[in-house]
Structure 1
Amino acid sequence: MELSSLFPVVDERATAKKVKKFFEKDFERLLRLADEQTSFFRSPNYDGMPKSPSTINGQEESAIKYITSDTAKAKSILKDIDVAINHCSKTNQIILFYRYIEFWPDWRVAQKVKYSTTRYNELKIAALVEFAERLCVQENRIDLREIQKASS
């Protein structure tokens, strides 16, 4: 049995384009609505050791009840973005974090992952697709994938 019969086939280039647009247009707005900075996001974990999830203390829980629904929704989406990035493969985490959270230019991220520009561009598309696939299974179910049309 082929996986394509179970799962939709993703148009990688179209998905990558849609995710880039999401980071360029919607991400900044989400940060503003949530009243957060990019420091909200965890940098990629290099030591290979698992991290325990942070817990919310009683005061934070009380404060959450009083925030507006828009703010709460934006914070929830930012949390989904953080989880999706940190569940990606290590190289993809680095690409996504430094390019779209820290806003490094592509050439600098390519140097960080130690790949040529051509290979980096291929890896960036793969990172954006993996992010889209991981984001759509998070709590808010934001689906940035572009599904290929079935050929008749």
Structure 2
Amino acid sequence: MELSSLFPVIDDRATAKKVKNFFEKDFERLLRLADEQTSFFRSPNYDGMPKSPSTINGQEASVIKCITSDTAKAKSILSDIDIAINHCNKTYQTILFYRYIECLPDWRVAQKVKYSTTRYNELKIAALVEFAERLCVQKNHIDLRALK
């Protein structure tokens, strides 16, 4: 079996542009629709210890049933975004979280990851591409990849 059929050829720059557009336009609307804040997202974890999934208690489960379907869908997509970011490479997690969740300017994020502007811009494109690849395999299958 050839694995090349599993790996579509991705246009990195076009994918990065689609993901940036998603964060700039759709992300805020998802937060509002889900009635959430950016604090919904976990900051990058560097301790290397595995985390067990959170459990929902009975009261929380009953509240979830009362939520409108649009709100539930938005919350589900936000959860997918959180998982996709936190499954990325640690440097990419930092870039994505601080640039698109915390909305820090690029120069501040470059300082956080301790790279020059040029190298940071290359890493940001790679982070956006990895995010797109990880997001498309989550529960809601949101595909932001641009194929060649």
Give the share of equivalent positions with the same residue, in percent. Answer: 88
Deviation at 1:5, TM superposition (A): 3.7
- 1:43 match: 43
Q: Give the counterpart letter for 2:14 in structure 1.
A: A
Q: How does 1:30-109 map to 2 (within 5 A)?
A: 30-109=30-109
Tell me the number of residue pairs that the alignment of Structure 1 and Structure 2 aligns: 148
CA distance in 1, matches of 2:5, 2:66: 46
Deviation at 1:8, TM superposition (A): 1.1
- TM-score, normalisation: structure 2: 0.97
Deviation at 1:86, TM superposition (A): 0.3
Deviation at 1:139, TM superposition (A): 0.1
- Aligned with 1:45: secondary structure? coil
- 1:125 match: 125
CA distance in 2, matches of 1:3, 1:125: 24
Partner deviation per Cα, 1:53-111 (whole Å, 9 max, x = no partner):
11111011000000000000000000000000000000000000000000000000000
- Aligned with 1:21: secondary structure? helix
In structure 2, runs of 5+ residues without a counterpart are none
In structure 1, runs of 5+ residues without a counterpart are none
- TM-score, normalisation: structure 1: 0.95
CA distance in 2, matches of 1:105, 1:143: 26
- 2:9 match: 9
Deviation at 1:32, TM superposition (A): 0.1
